[in-house]
């Protein structure tokens, strides 16, 4: 029996996923979490084999943050991301945080169930479109930003100052500036506004 924890801030989504998964003989939903911190707590106390993780929870902490913490637990469960977002930054951030798979919420039910079984057994479970995006990134490294650079740029896009970014990411102002210098260089731009615009046009930011 594969024990599953569902982490999503929408009750209707959690209920739908529970109904779908509990209908399978070899799957059992053992808990639900509406916040990233609750997901980490339940992943530790309920010891599921798999956490089905959304990325955005309407707060500072994200599914990628929770994934990183869950994968650092003793006897850590695997994490399968199930989200609406498919920007390069989201995908890269989740994979680098330790997610075994990445599916979009418009995936057919049979595809989701198959991905749950694959991820729970330690296999990679990437939606074909997501796998294609990752391969494309690997083939064009000249415009590939690191997950941290994308994180910095995402906060800049939200209007955060260097000081705000430093505080949010627990790094120094100098480190933020260093990341932005690398971002400008990689994107061939000279301002924060141009960097955000270029990153959006390249699909790195949503």
Q: List the chain pLDDT tens, one digit each, 206 residues.
A: 999 999 999 999 999 999 999 999 999 999 999 999 999 999 999 999 999 999 988 777 789 999 999 999 998 999 999 998 877 778 878 888 899 889 999 999 999 999 999 999 988 888 777 777 776 666 655 567 888 898 899 999 999 999 999 998 889 988 998 889 888 888 888 888 888 988 888 878 87
Give the distance from CA 55 to its chain's centroid. 5
Give the distance from CA 141 to its chain's centroid. 21
Residue 109: other Cβ atoms inside 10 A? 12
- How many structural domains is the chain composed of? 2
109 belongs to a structural domain: yes
DSSP of 35-98:
SHHHHHHHHHHH--SEEEE-S--SSSS-HHHHHHHHHTSTTPPEEEEEES---HHHHHHHHHHT
Q: Which residues constitute the domain of residue 173?
A: 142-201
**Residues 112, 85 within the same domain:** yes
**Residues 68, 118 within the same domain:** yes
- DSSP-derived letter for residue 58 is S
């Amino acid at each position: 029996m594969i024990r599953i924890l569902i982490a999503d801030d929408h009750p209707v989504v959690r209920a739908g996923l529970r109904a779908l998964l509990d209908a399978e003989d070899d799957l059992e939903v053992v808990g639900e979490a509406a916040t990233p911190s609750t997901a980490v707590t339940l992943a530790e106390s309920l010891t599921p084999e798999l956490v089905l993780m959304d990325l955005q929870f309407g707060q500072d902490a994200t599914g990628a943050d929770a994934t990183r913490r869950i994968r650092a637990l003793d006897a850590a469960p695997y994490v399968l991301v199930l989200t609406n977002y498919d920007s390069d930054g989201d995908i890269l951030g989740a994979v680098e945080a330790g997610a075994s798979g990445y599916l979009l919420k418009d995936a057919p039910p049979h595809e989701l169930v198959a991905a749950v079984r694959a991820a729970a057994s330690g296999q990679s479970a990437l939606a074909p479109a997501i796998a294609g995006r990752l391969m494309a990134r690997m083939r064009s490294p000249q415009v590939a930003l690191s997950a941290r650079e994308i994180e910095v740029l995402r906060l800049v896009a939200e209007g955060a100052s260097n000081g705000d970014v430093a505080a949010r990411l627990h790094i120094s102002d100098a480190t933020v500036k260093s990341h932005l210098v690398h971002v400008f260089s990689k994107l061939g731009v000279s301002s924060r506004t141009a960097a955000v615009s270029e990153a959006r046009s390249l699909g790195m930011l949503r």
